[in-house]
């Protein structure tokens, strides 16, 4: 009797050692080996939901049929395209297992406005509360909503602007929400998110 082969469509469990090796070789220059990037140009990945990271990595890859990636970033497209699905699972699990370094709000003047948008949204503009999806303390919900607690405000601003400008198209609700926010509102809520714990 022959042994049954594992279903190739079902990825193996995450291999943290392999994920750590990929992070050290491929990701560390921008995101740091533990996922706590040192500046706002690159997101902190430490403590981010593994499922969300896998989805984003897949969104950076060109799509079947020659379609462009769902997330347009030439640098990340190159890195993501070199990773197998199992590599993505491994590196995402590694970053998810790391302890994120806390961030902080930098502009005390905008904290009240950022807090209001985070907690209550802007009803007259049809902007829902950020906390409705990303949680009261910014922990997010795996797969759908990223952890924003302590994330660099510069990175969050850049992503909201990318949603506004249509250069990031992998989340239609966020595209619609970003279109309704002013630049000052984006900066205020991004700075507030940076200080969430």
Task: Note the pTM of the prediction, 2 decimals.
Answer: 0.91
Chain segment 14-46, per-residue pLDDT in tens: 999 999 999 999 999 999 999 999 999 999 999
Say whether both 28 and 65 belong to one domain.
yes
Chain segment 89-137, per-residue pLDDT in tens: 999 999 999 999 999 999 999 999 999 999 999 999 999 999 999 999 9
Paired with 67 in beta bridges are 63
Asked which of 50, 67, 96 is the last residue of a domain, the reply is 96
Say whether both 92 and 115 belong to one domain.
no
Say whether both 78 and 116 belong to one domain.
no
Residue 7 included in any domain: no
Q: Which domain holds residue 54?
A: 16-96
Residue 6 and residue 78 in contact, taking contact as beta carbons nearer than 8 Å: no
Domain CATH code at residue 171: 1.10.760.10
Angle at 82 between CA 76 and CA 87, to 5 degrees: 100
Say whether both 134 and 90 belong to one domain.
no
The number of domains in the chain is 2
Say whether both 115 and 177 belong to one domain.
yes
Residue 40 and residue 152 in contact, taking contact as beta carbons nearer than 8 Å: yes
């Amino acid at each position: 009797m022959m042994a049954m082969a594992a279903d190739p469509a079902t990825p193996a469990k995450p291999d943290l050692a392999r994920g750590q090796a990929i992070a050290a070789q491929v990701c560390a220059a921008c995101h740091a080996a533990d996922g706590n990037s040192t500046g706002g140009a690159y997101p902190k990945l430490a403590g981010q939901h593994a499922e969300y990271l896998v989805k984003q990595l897949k969104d950076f890859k060109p799509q079947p049929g020659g379609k462009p990636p769902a997330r347009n970033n030439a640098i990340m497209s190159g890195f993501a395209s070199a990773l197998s699905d199992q590599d993505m699972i491994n590196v995402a699990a590694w970053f998810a297992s790391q302890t994120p370094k806390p961030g902080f709000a930098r502009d005390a003047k905008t904290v009240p406005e950022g807090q209001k948008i985070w907690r209550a949204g802007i009803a007259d503009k049809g902007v829902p509360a950020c906390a409705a999806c990303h949680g009261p303390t910014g922990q997010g919900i795996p797969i759908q909503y990223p952890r924003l607690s302590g994330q660099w405000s510069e990175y969050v601003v850049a992503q909201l602007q990318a949603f506004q400008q249509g250069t990031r198209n992998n989340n239609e609700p966020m595209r619609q929400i970003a279109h309704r926010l002013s630049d000052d509102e984006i900066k205020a809520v991004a700075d507030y998110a940076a200080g969430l714990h």
